[in-house]
A and B are shown apart, each in its own frame.
Chain A
Amino acid sequence: MSTHVKYVLKVAPPYDDDLVRRIEDGFTGLLGFKVQFEVTEDPALLCGFVAYVRGVVYDVSGKTQLAGIQEHLMDSMIVPPSVIKEEDDDS
């Protein structure tokens, strides 16, 4: 019986055991302790994975990447000019 705690790993399909092992090895080397995952398939991630280790979320999913791009665009200049004009009028 294994004494290791299993952390949660959500992976976008398709994936295989080799990929899961690579992710486990990567986190083990990164964090300095043995990391094993309980894997869940999540198509909503589009691609990549999300790992939950000791309360820290490592999100490398395509969904989050797209959301980040969208947020970046919205924060920079991709706001409809009509919205900008309305804001100016309100001030």
Chain B
Amino acid sequence: MEGINLIDIPIYILNFIVTFAMLYLLLYKPMSKFLQARRERIANTVKEAEEAQKEAEDNLQKSRKELAGTAEKARELTHEAIENAALSAEQVLDKAEEEAAAIIKRTQEQMEAKRQAALERAYTELVSLSGELSTRIILREVTIEDNRKIAERFFSEVTERNKEAFAENNAEEKTQ
């Protein structure tokens, strides 16, 4: 009858232990080591990926900041350019006004000089003319007839004025 041989049991046990030990040594340990290494590699990869992502985010943030700074700087430059343009325009206007004022002043001075010259000429001519007339009047011999004419003209004019004054007085009295 076949049955369990008690002598074989320890052999099986020993065999099992030896097999287990060999498996442990030859399979489990390298496998475990391999898995550990793989785990570490994956962890490193994840860590590197996280660092890369963090770095990318940092770079993105930095780029955004730089962009914002650039935009602000662009705005400042634009504002400064506008102010400079306004200042330049103001300076151009001031200069134009100064030039216009200078031209007007120069023209006025020229006109004044011409006016003075014209007045000088007119004065000289009139003084000369009046002097000539006075000389002719004084040098001319006065006659009785001249004096008579003067008297006649005087009384004639005075009589005429009296008539006019009388007529005006009558008209005023009538209107009143």
Contact = CB atoms under 8 A, between A and B. Distances in A.
Nearest to B157: A60
Interface residues of B, number: 25
Interface string B133-176: 01001100011101110111011001100100000000000000
B152 to A, nearest CB: 8
Contact of B120 (A16, A19, A78, A81): A81
Contact of B147 (A48, A69, A78, A81): A48
Looking at A22, A47, A77, the one whose CB has the most chain B CB atoms below 10 A away is A47
B58 to A, nearest CB: 81
A13 B147 CA distance: 8
A9 B155 CA distance: 15
A11 B144 CA distance: 11
A5 B142 CA distance: 30
B150 A60 contact: yes
Contacts of A48: 147, 150-151, 154
Contact of B159 (A30, A47, A84): A30
30 contacts: A12-B147, A13-B142, A14-B143, A15-B144, A19-B148, A23-B151, A29-B159, A30-B158, A30-B162, A47-B147, A47-B150, A48-B150, A48-B151, A49-B147, A58-B154, A60-B150, A60-B154, A62-B137, A62-B142, A66-B134, A66-B137, A73-B130, A77-B122, A78-B123, A78-B127, A80-B123, A81-B120, A82-B120, A84-B119, A85-B116
Interface of A: 11-16, 19, 22-23, 26, 29-30, 46-49, 58, 60, 62, 66, 69-70, 73, 77-82, 84-85
Q: Closest 9 A-B residue pairs measured CB to CB?
A: A81-B119, A26-B155, A47-B142, A48-B150, A60-B154, A81-B120, A14-B144, A81-B116, A23-B151
